[in-house]
Every structure is written in structure tokens, then in C-alpha cells.
Structure 1
Amino acid sequence: MKTNLLKITALSIALGVALIACDKTNSTITSSDQLANAVIDNQTANEQSESAYELVDDATFLPFGGRNFRETADITGGGNGFFPMLGMGWNRPWKGKDANCATVTKTVTNNVITIVYDFTAVAGGVCGETPVGGKMTISMPVKPDSTFSGTLVRTVTYDNLKRDSLTINGTHTITTTLANGKATSSEKLAKMSILNSKSGKTITYTSTRSRVVDNKGTLSRNDDEYSVTGSTNGSSSDGTTFSSNITKALITKNSCSDAKGFPVSGTEEIVAADGTKKIVDYGDGTCDLKYTETTNGVTVEKERTRGKGGKGKK
């Protein structure tokens, strides 16, 4: 199981492609540039959502008995079906591998659990070789027993959360409906911003999404697949607006180690500020970073890169 700080780092790498989009120096932004930037920045928003979802799932469930929101069944064998993270047995905060990099606290008040990852006091503002800062706060209701069916809400708030040259702000709200042991989530990423300190440029966006998790009938998350639909509206790194709409569900696979969080199939329609459109097709399910863009009937093959972490770097 990946550690949470590694997952936060993975979130930065997923967002690292913003370096590509934000470092453009052209003083004149053409229609073609607007659309190209919109595609890249929209992919950044998609990957941020995938990384944030997995991070929140792990931070709120896996450290507290090895469970997560995708199942309500008791998986420990012989347990009573109650989740340890109700405030019982949490003898030390979950910090991941680099325990000294963040101050992690958990409180339970009025049946609400709050977990805070605080990097503001990290010595020199550097964790290992990576500049860090800010806070990430996760809140959620106390989990009822394993027979529960209904709706539960988890919220993660980024408060100047810094990784390398990127600083993230915004809120990701995950509303999960549990029925017959299965979970369906609706999500909203509100007033998200990703600032690149090297270029001084920012991507801002709001996204609404619906997610269905296929756990393949196993307890491991390594084979989970996510099916996501929804839309995004934002301001691209070039300062122009863009919108995207998922026209065929985007499928991501945890088993795709070289394309973690990147769609292996599905389509999106991307619209730039001037109304020009691209259809982005992510393929037939093959684990890669390849996709096609179709504009005015002309299709071009592309391949995603992921900032300084390199292609496929997790």
C-alpha cells in the first residue's frame, strides 16, 4: 500500500504537467494555442481529481483498519463490523514513510472526524529534496457500522499546499452513496487553483464528476477501475477560459502502473474561449499515455508527458 505522503507527492507529479502548460512564453495566444493549452490543462484537472480521490480514500480509511469506502463489508474476519477510525485504537497519526515531514493530527468532535496534514512547520520548507508548505484538511462523518446504507460526505481542503514549484488551493467534496455494499460517488472540485511559482501562471477550475468504482470482487485496490463522467469549467494557464464535457465515461485503472490516473478509454469534448472544439479520445483500454485529438475532422495522435517526473512517473 502506498504511503499517504507518497500519494501527495504523486498528486504533485500528476499536476506537474502544469509546468508544461504554464511555461509557455508566446506573447500572442493563437486560437490553436488556446485549444492546445485547454486540452493539457483539462488533463491536469482530471489527473488532480483522480489523485485527490485516491489520497482521501486512503487517508480516511486504509490507516484505520485497512478498509475504504468502496465496500461496507467487514473484511477482517470475525470482526464486529465497526470501523476502528471512530476514535478507537488510533494510537498514532498516519504520516506515511516520511513521518517527520508533516504534523498530522486527528480529532473527533460532534461525530465529525478531522485529519490535518500540516507542512507549515517543516524545517527549511523542504521535505527530502522537495519544497513543501501549507496544509491539507480532510473532514468526514463518523462511519456507522458495516450495515449502513445511505449518503456520507468527505471533504478535502487544500490551503496553499505546496509541492515543488506548485501551490494548490481549493476544495474537493466527495458525496458517496452506499447501497447493498456498493458505492457511487458524486464529486465537486470547487475554486481549484494550481500556481506555478516558476512561471507565475495559474490554472483555475471547477469540476463536477460522478464516479463508479469496480473493485473486481477483490479486497485489493490494485485492480480497481474507475468510471468517471462530468464536466469542467476553468481558466487555462494562458489566461483564457475553457470547458470540457466527458461524452463517454473515462476509465482509469489502478493496474496501469505506467499510466496511473490517466484515462485508458473514453472521450471528452474540449471547448476553448473562442468556441473552437477538440474531441479527445483516450483509446481502447490499453495502459498507456496515448490519445487522439480531432479538430474539424482532422485527427492527430498525441502522448501525455508528466512534468519533470517523466512519462508514467508515479
Structure 2
Amino acid sequence: MKMTVSFGRMAAALLIGTGLFLASCSKNNDEKTIVSAEQVAMTTASAESEAEGEIIFDDVFNNVMGVNATVGIGGTGEFQANQSDQPGTLQSTCFTLNFDFLAAPDTFPLKVTIDFGTTGCTGRDGRIRMGKIITVYTGPLIRPGSVAETSFEGYSVNGIKVEGQHRVENKSTSTQFTFETKVTNGKLTRPNGNTWTWNRTRTITQTDGWGTPWLASDDVFTIVGNGSGTVTIGDRTGTWTSTNVEPLVKRFNCRWIVKGKQAIQRNDGPEGIIDFGTGDCDNKATLTVNGVSREITLK
């Protein structure tokens, strides 16, 4: 039977279970087993941190691209008016937009602030956002060479505080639409104080939707790349590196990554594999650590 768990509950249960096991066994006879249990717990927590970071910063990418057709392609993320997995009308009053022309009268560079307020803005995707996403565009992101650099001010998603820098650069050629995204000093903090930091680089390549350049809903992209991170749960800290096993698949008409696999390796622990599925638009993924698989729910 599959288990649906959250990052906090899984990690806490595993770590508490490890402590009880330590108290009931002799150190001389069972030390290797005890260390293995702790390693599995931290690898599991590291893998879930990677998955959650991927989803949250993918949401940032969607919103940076989605503001309008002047700075991006328009109509993605919170700006998508008609999304198959998000019924209802766009909540246009849930957030505000501010445009600051940094070299007026020139259009670019342009600073765009998406302000979700301080009391909580519930999007059509069910996520509650607060604070600001602040992006400076050097030019339209559909133009090769253009860059968008994003920072955050009091920003959170479902109570998870988001910090760091997010960068998008258009590296397209005449035959391929490609973006490079980077997260530098990314940091996510849960209300209970648990944190994870993240640095990663991804190459996002369009594989479908070329025939309708101004219609984002039919665009499909593959995502490949590597990264590294650190997760802290109470007084325990684990570091990891992530490597793409199978390209991740992102459809702009779905808010989740729908396919692909990412490997998570801790220096002193077993490898974890995150499997995002076979193409269905849902918030489920499978996490396998030390031969044991669990279904996890993405936030």
C-alpha cells in the first residue's frame, strides 16, 4: 500500500523512530543498523526538499514568464485565465502589479513587482501566497539574450518562506526555444523552523507548441540539470547533490511537473530517486530510498 506523506511528518517520524531504536539496542551490536536508519531518514528528507524546491521555483518561473506578452509569453502561472486543472475565473484582485521603468522613456530594463499582500492571497491553484516577487527584465524573454533576475520580499507559499535569487536567460537559437534557469542561495523555511537551502541550474527546452507562439497553454518543455542543497531538521543537517536521470516534463497547462526522474545523493547515505510520474497532471510523485518506495504529495 502506498503512503501519502508530507516532508515534515515523514522526516519527524523517521527521526523519532531512529531515536527509539537507539534506546532499545546495544551500541556494540546494532551501531551499523542505527546509522543506516538515520541515513535513510536524512536522504528521504533531502529528496523531499529537492522535490519541493523544484515545484516552488518552477512556480516562480511560471509567474515571471506569465506577467504579459511584453516581458514574457503571458498567461502562465497566476496569470493564466483558462487552465485545465484550475477551474474558475482568474482572481484578478488577489494580487497587484507595479511596473517601474528603470531607464525611462525606454521600456527596458523594467522592474515588475507582483504583490500578493500581507494577509494571504489564495490562487486558483489553491496555494496561499504572501509578499512580493520582484523581477528586473533586461528585455522581452522571448528574445535570445534577454535576462530576468528575481528576488523576494517577505514572500511565502503555503506558509513556506522563500528566499534567494532566481535567474532566467533566453538561450534560444534559430531552431530551438531554450531557457537557462538558476537558483542561487535559494532557501525555504517552514513555520516549524526546518530549512533547506538550494543551488541549481536547469536547461528548459521547448518540445511542443511551436506553432502557436502566443498561446502558452499548449507549450511543453523538458527540464534537465543538476544542483545541490542542505536540509536542516532540528539539530540534524544533511547535504545532497541532485542529478537528472530522465528529463523532467513541464506543461504550461498544468501547475505540476508531470514526468521525469531526479536522483538525490548524500555523501554519507543511500541514493534517493524522485519519480514525477508518467504524464498525468497531478501533485503526486514517488520517492524511492534504499529500495523502499513511498508516494509523496507535492505542495
- Identify whether the pair has TM-score above 0.5, normalized to the shorter chain: yes
Q: Secondary structure at the match of 1:115?
A: strand
Q: Secondary structure at the match of 1:208?
A: strand
Q: Secondary structure at the match of 1:54?
A: helix
1:175 and 1:66 mapped to 2: Cα distance?
11
| Alignment-derived partner of residue 47 in structure 1 | 55
Shift of 1:142: 3.3
1:280 and 1:155 mapped to 2: Cα distance?
28
| Alignment-derived partner of residue 109 in structure 2 | 112
In the alignment, residue 138 of structure 2 is paired with which amino acid? Answer: P
1:58 and 1:137 mapped to 2: Cα distance?
14
2:200 and 2:13 mapped to 1: Cα distance?
24
Counting only pairs closer than 5 Å after superposition, residues 249-264 of structure 1 correspond to structure 2 as 249-255=247-253, 257=254, 260-264=255-259
Q: Secondary structure at the match of 2:48?
A: helix
| Alignment-derived partner of residue 195 in structure 2 | 202
1:192 and 1:276 mapped to 2: Cα distance?
24
Contact 2:244 2:263 in 1 (8 A): yes
User: Residues 50 and 38 from structure 1, CA distance in 2 versus in 1: closer, same or farther, beyond 3 angstroms?
Assistant: same
Counting only pairs closer than 5 Å after superposition, residues 219-238 of structure 1 correspond to structure 2 as 219-238=214-233
| Alignment-derived partner of residue 311 in structure 1 | none
Q: 2:40 aligns with which of 32, 36, 43?
A: 32
In the alignment, residue 159 of structure 2 is paired with which amino acid? Answer: S
User: Residues 170 and 36 from structure 1, CA distance in 2 versus in 1: closer, same or farther, beyond 3 angstroms?
Assistant: same
In the alignment, residue 231 of structure 1 is paired with which amino acid? Answer: N
Contact 1:280 1:294 in 2 (8 A): no
| Alignment-derived partner of residue 156 in structure 1 | 150
The two structures, once aligned, show a CA RMSD in angstroms of: 3.4
Q: 1:123-145 CA distances to partner (integer Å, 9 max, x unpaired)?
A: xx34479976432101102339x
2:59 and 2:174 mapped to 1: Cα distance?
26
* Same amino acid, percent of matched pairs: 16
Q: 1:70-111 CA distances to partner (integer Å, 9 max, x unpaired)?
A: 9xxxxxxxxxxxxxxxxxxxxxxxxx6252x54431011233
Counting only pairs closer than 5 Å after superposition, residues 57-96 of structure 1 correspond to structure 2 as 57-59=65-67, 61-62=68-69, 64=70, 67-68=73-74
Shift of 1:184: 0.7
Q: 1:191-220 CA distances to partner (integer Å, 9 max, x unpaired)?
A: 1111111x1111111111111022333343
User: Residues 279 and 126 from structure 1, CA distance in 2 versus in 1: closer, same or farther, beyond 3 angstroms?
Assistant: closer
Contact 1:22 1:201 in 2 (8 A): no
| Alignment-derived partner of residue 211 in structure 1 | 204
Q: TM-score, normalised by structure 2?
A: 0.70
2:116 and 2:275 mapped to 1: Cα distance?
38
Contact 2:287 2:296 in 1 (8 A): no
| Alignment-derived partner of residue 180 in structure 1 | 174
Counting only pairs closer than 5 Å after superposition, residues 257-296 of structure 1 correspond to structure 2 as 257=254, 260-264=255-259, 266-288=260-282, 289-291=284-286, 293=288, 295=290
User: Residues 97 and 230 from structure 1, CA distance in 2 versus in 1: closer, same or farther, beyond 3 angstroms?
Assistant: same
User: Residues 212 and 58 from structure 1, CA distance in 2 versus in 1: closer, same or farther, beyond 3 angstroms?
Assistant: same
| Alignment-derived partner of residue 295 in structure 2 | 303
User: Residues 119 and 225 from structure 1, CA distance in 2 versus in 1: closer, same or farther, beyond 3 angstroms?
Assistant: closer
Contact 1:151 1:175 in 2 (8 A): yes
In the alignment, residue 46 of structure 2 is paired with which amino acid? Answer: A
Figure out how many residues of one structure are paired with residues of the other and give that number: 250
Pairing 1:248–2:246 present:
yes
Q: 1:132-164 CA distances to partner (integer Å, 9 max, x unpaired)?
A: 6432101102339x8x6x311111111220344
User: Residues 235 and 222 from structure 1, CA distance in 2 versus in 1: closer, same or farther, beyond 3 angstroms?
Assistant: same
2:99 and 2:175 mapped to 1: Cα distance?
27
Contact 1:221 1:254 in 2 (8 A): yes
